[in-house]
Copies of this chain bind each other. A is one copy, B any other.
Amino acid sequence: MCAQSAHTVPTPGNVAQEDAVLSTMQDVPLLISRILTHGSSIHGTSQVITWTGEGAPQRRSYAEIGSRAAQLAHALREDLGVSGDERVATLMWNNAEHVEAYYAIPSMGAVLHTLNLRLPAEQLTWIVNHAADRVVIVNGSLIPLIAPLLPHLKTVEHIVVSGPGDRSPLADTHVQVHEYEELLAGQPVAYDWPELDERSAAAMCYTSGTTGDPKGVVYSHRSIYLHSMQVNMTQSMGLTDQDTSLVVVPQFHVNAWGMPHATFMTGVNMLMPDRFLQPAPLAEMIEGERPTHAAAVPTIWQGLLAELTARPRDVSSLTQVTIGGSACPPSLMEAFDKLGMRVCHAWGMTETSPLGTIARPPAHVVGTDEEFAYRLTQGRFPAGVEARLTGPGGERLPWDGESAGELEVRGPWIAGAYYNGPDAEPLRPADKFSEDGWLKTGDVGTISPDGFLTLTDRAKDVIKSGGEWISSVELENALMAHPDVAEAAVVAVPDDKWGERPLATVVLKEGAAADFATLRAFLQEERKIAKWQLPERWTVVEAVPKTSVGKFDKKVLRRQYAEGALDVTQI
């Protein structure tokens, strides 16, 4: 495999030359197996520590993970007959066995498919069938979740169970059931990992889109390897073997933000919460195992903050916190700063592996009053992620910190398609991918001249009025600043003249009366909203409809408007 590269390339003005220069570098593919081999040898004493809820946590060295990943690969290949690029799914919490699956499955040439255990049963079933998973590795505690689905999973032949949990719901299935530890026992602790094409599929993860079928993103060995290097750069997470990272973000959620791969490159220890994601056990494991870093979504941190306020613990080890998934409220960032936990904001999505931006303030603001404002942005694009903003007419917008457009990104760890459509070809929906192959993120925001991204809206929530965009989020925040308003949602509704116009949906505080003219004047005079952006259509509702994760469900409002179910006043 280490044959010298013999690529040449046509370039503008290229002419055939007898003395053409070939690179003399080794052609070594970027493979997950190389990350595993590095971590389990050079960093063999680093540890995956898995919380068990009672008694001592389970400790497993990277050397042991390496041996056990080899055993798992032997079992999958020889006992379960997994070959080629067949899909092996996991329905698991964050734990050492899940890390073993992360390495064994892609390294042997198969494809790791992480299943999101929060999805409704119908979506899980659809996803497993669409990916054609042949084996599912499942934690014992999740048997109640998968057992009822088994009759509907068309391609699954084997279930491998790991960890505690009642096995009896699996008694009557046609699928073969195996015990994880029994499969591994006696297998060789080394595996001659194949030399794969680095662009071949390594892992897949479906997005749970709110509309349409879920869509599969298929990561390559190359994309994961490059993303892991990026995560380890000092201006990204940049951890070392002196760190222990509490990986709260689930392994079924965009590869746990790349942590299980990045850590094996540098020997960072991983503290895995398994199913103990409640604030109290999280506080307990921070106090007990003294991680230096943690990664999770804001909701987790809100809960932990409340827990620490109610029952203070020694969490002084935890000095770095990476927050992503949704925007971190400034109050939360300030509260964590006070606890000595430095929050670093990051942005990404399933399609971006996920690291797309990270908010390390630029050198010239460090230590100044401006620093906090930079930390509240989504962050700066790292080398490897190219970005552009596209306006409502498809025009490119400048990086001036003011022009808002849809963010489009390009790079070697960014998706250019989704997994198989009905014709078994990659899916490239026009609202997701530009003609020249960039990912349309669906996020709307601005980029400063020094490359910091500030997101303001989802593209689908922006109001496209007469060729210009109106930010629904900006109008909502302005409305909610009025003392009579408890909550406000602004959505786009069709307009004959302007294409779309904003509809202001207001929840009044108890005792307040609906005075839309006053609210409109407030927006214009107090909040300095431009006249052409002011809503003409107003309505009062009892509550803004919300999604299961508590976000405004604007689909519902738009449908209610279309059906005439809202009492709308024009002013």
Contacts and interface: CB of A to CB of B under 8 A. Distances in A.
Contacts of A420: 19
Interface in A411-448: 411-420, 424, 426, 428, 436-439
Nearest to A9: B197
Interface in A10-52: 11-15, 17-28, 30, 34-35, 37-39, 41-45
A414 B38 contact: no
B5 A45 contact: no
A5 B451 contact: no
Given A26-B411, A233-B234, A109 B11 contact: yes
A85 interface: yes
Contacts of A285: none
B25 A222 contact: yes
Interface string A220-247: 1011001011101111001111100000
A416 B199 contact: no
Contacts of A418: 24
Contacts of A386: 34, 37-38
A219 B417 contact: no
A275 interface: no
A132 interface: yes
A21 B438 contact: no
A518 interface: no
Q: How many copies does the complex hold?
A: 2
Given A11-B194, A41-B451, A415 B25 contact: yes
B83 A201 contact: no
A23 B220 contact: yes
A13 B381 contact: no
Nearest to A427: B24
Interface stretch (A117-125, A323-331, A359-367): A359-367
Interface residues of A, number: 111
A270 to B, nearest CB: 14
Contacts of A194: 11-12
Nearest to A111: B21
The 4 closest A-B pairs by CB, nearest first: A2-B437, A11-B109, A23-B220, A9-B197
Interface of A: 1-5, 7-9, 11-15, 17-28, 30, 34-35, 37-39, 41-45, 77, 83-87, 108-109, 111, 132, 194, 196-197, 199-202, 204, 216-220, 222-223, 226, 228-230, 232-235, 238-242, 264-267, 360, 362-364, 366, 380-384, 386, 399, 410-420, 424, 426, 428, 436-439, 449-451
30 contacts: A4-B428, A7-B197, A11-B85, A11-B194, A13-B83, A13-B109, A21-B218, A22-B419, A23-B201, A23-B218, A23-B219, A23-B223, A24-B415, A24-B416, A24-B418, A25-B218, A25-B412, A26-B416, A27-B412, A34-B383, A38-B386, A39-B383, A229-B384, A232-B234, A233-B233, A233-B238, A234-B240, A235-B240, A235-B241, A266-B383
